[in-house]
Amino acid sequence: MTSVPEVAITTKIKVPFFDVDSMHIVWHGHYVKYLELARCELLDSINYGYLEMAHSGYLWPVVDMRLKYVAPACFGQWIQVSCKLAEFETRLKLNYEIIDIDTGKRLTKAHTIQVAVARETQEMQFETPAILKQRLGIRCER
């Protein structure tokens, strides 16, 4: 098994008014959007964003997502969303952490799992496509 390359990003978000409920805390469903923003940034950092995925012949749907809400994010609060590659063999697992920038307090922990699906056949791939390994800087054996 190949070790997981160190691929990680952090992005900052100021919680907008339209993401909060009547109590001025972020509605739980919007955290998914924050994860997606970080995930897209991480994938772009290895030049394998969603458009590149599709051009390479693969779709990568999210098949599992777990979130642990520790403390609420509030309107106007600056948060940092960290995203780190945890696994890439047979699936793509990304770990996330959302923290309050001012206090460093953890607000949310999460992970997502995506699988490669051949674009033309819609068949799930049970091996990591070579293109992802290449984008991660891993030599592919033939």
pLDDT value at 14 more than 70: yes
Residue 16 in this model has a pLDDT that exceeds 70: yes
In the chain, domain spans: 8-133
State whether the Cα torsion 36-41-45-49 is positive or negative: positive
Q: What is the pLDDT of residue 48?
A: 97
Q: What share of the chain has pLDDT > 70, as a percent?
A: 97
Given this model, what pLDDT does residue 17 score?
96
**Dihedral angle at the C-alpha atoms of 38, 41, 45, 51, nearest 10 degrees?**
130
The 10s digit of each residue's pLDDT in 32-70 is 999 999 999 999 999 999 999 999 999 999 999 999 999
pLDDT in tens, 115-125: 999 999 999 99
CATH topology of domain 8-133: Thiol Ester Dehydrase; Chain A (3.10.129)
Residue where the block lists tokens 């590659």: 85
Single pTM value for the model: 0.93
CB 12 within 8 A of CB 79: yes
Do the Cβ atoms of 140 and 122 come closer than 8 Å?
no
- Whole-number pLDDT of residue 142: 56
Kind plus residue range of the DSSP H or E element containing 62: strand 62-69
pLDDT, the chain, mean: 95
SS3 10: strand
Which DSSP letter does residue 140 get? P
Does 1 have pLDDT greater than 70? no
